[in-house]
Structure 1
Amino acid sequence: MKMLDPKKLFVQYRPNAAPTDPKSPRRYTLTHSDTTAQLFLVVGPEFAHDTANPMRDEVYAEWKTFNREKVLYGYVLVADENTTESVARQRNEIFLRELPRVLEAFRYGDRYFFDAHPEYKEAPVYIQFESVYPEFRQLKPYGPISKYV
């Protein structure tokens, strides 16, 4: 896995979101360019569905509270009804390989938020892999967001 290149990460804050606030709702949408290897992180009160690409390889994440604990809960689409099982397997492998870099992009891209709210740094990360194929449908823990610095 390649590590994050900060020069290739572009961050945009949507209306009603700023580098340090609000804490909730605070949602992330990460997309990328296959040709330039640039990453595009949108931070806002809603997911940036308008940035989704035809490949549907964006990663969404949002802050949630479970049992009074802050959690960064993410979503990736491995396979829908139009995806073959072999393509689903390949997409699953790509997401598994690239998610640490994606989480690093969330952590680095929103670093001013984490500096202003250090209590979020140790929040656990969970990613929901969504798929019509049961073998790829899973919820995976990724440890605390602080490990992706």
Structure 2
Amino acid sequence: MSVFNPQKLSVKLIPPTTFSQPVEGRKYTLTHSDITAELFLDIGYVYNYKSIDPKMRDEVLATWKKDSHGRLYLVGKAYVDGGEFSQKVADTRFKIFTKEMATALNGIVYGDRPFYVHYPFLVDAPIFIHYLSTYPQYRQVAFYGTPRQYLNHSIKQPDFPHHQT
């Protein structure tokens, strides 16, 4: 599995997004370079579709949503296939996504650290990833813990977020 390296993460806020707004509907577009191993995170009211490679489709998209009880959770999606790949290729893509998802979530959560200072209760919100596929065995939803575990893992401080004084 890839190891998350904060020095290889570039973060861009898409205006008018700030590190405190929006909350519900806040969207993350995470892409990467296979050559340099860099991660690119765009945070906005909309996904940054221009950053997505239409042939590779190896991005992770995520957004904050409310459940039926008004609780926020982070839900993401990974495009395994839409019928254009063989089952063998879809299987490979699914395995790569599941192997690399923790690194992707590290990038998303770590890249938006100031957001959690404004909304510390969200460090304990659940994270779900939808794997999108025409093959039933890959079309699934997986629980990936909470932002807290990615923040702790990324910065080695068990009680993050710290409030700035």
Would the TM-score normalized by the shorter structure come out above 0.5?
yes
Question: Which of 112, 133, 143 is equivalent to 1:141?
Answer: 143
Deviation string, structure 1 residues 21-76 (Cα, Å, up to 9, x no partner): 22132100000001110000000000111110120000000000012211000001
Q: Which residue of 1 aligns with 2:2?
A: 2
Q: How does 1:65-76 map to 2 (within 5 A)?
A: 65-66=66-67, 67-76=69-78
Partner AA of 2:50 in structure 1: D
| Amino-acid identity (%) | 38
Aligned residue-pair number: 149
Give unpaired runs (5+ residues) of structure 2.
Answer: 152-165
The RMSD of aligned alpha carbons is 0.9
Aligned residue number for residue 119 of structure 1 = 121
Q: Secondary structure, in 3 states, of the residue corresponding to 2:63?
A: strand
Mapping 1:78-97, distance limit 5 Å = 78-97=80-99
Which residue pairs with 1:35 in the alignment? 35
**Could you tell me which amino acid in structure 1 is paired with residue 12 of structure 2?**
Q
Larger Rg: 2
Structure 1: which 5+ runs fail to align? none
Structure ranking higher in strand proportion: 1
Give 4+ residue runs of structure 1 displaced > 3 Å after superposition: none
> Is the CA contact 1:9–1:105 (under 8 Å) kept in the aligned structure 2?
yes
Distance 1:50 1:34 in 2: 18
